[in-house]
Amino acid sequence: MTAVFVAVLGMLGAATVLTVFRLVRGPSTLDRVVALDVYVVLTVVATGVYVAYYRDRSNVSLMAAVALVGFVGSVAVARLAVRRERHR
């Protein structure tokens, strides 16, 4: 079972590296918004792996909070990005 968790965390780590690459490289602000949203989802997924491995429920509310903050942040940045591009 530990090998399964190592494989899962390896794939999630590779996905995080690729997402951070897009976050740093992304040509426009909206690309970075998308990459940051994916990064937040990957954080929630990795916390879910923690919950499954240790059978520890103390981080489940953290997952809900992080998902909520990520949603609000993506919506706010998307709206502000289109406003800033318009005023140029």
> Minimum distance between the CB of residue 39 and another protein, rounded to whole angstroms?
9
Interaction of residue 57 with another protein, rule CB under 8 A = yes
CA dist., res. 36 & res. 38, Å (int): 5
Q: Alpha helix (H) ranges present in 1-88?
A: 2-25, 29-54, 60-86
CA dist., res. 16 & res. 43, Å (int): 9
Residues that bind another protein (CB under 8 A): 1, 4-5, 7-9, 11-12, 14-16, 18-19, 21-22, 26-35, 37-38, 41-42, 44-45, 48-49, 51-52, 55, 57, 60-61, 63-64, 67-68, 71, 74-75, 78-79, 81-82, 85-88
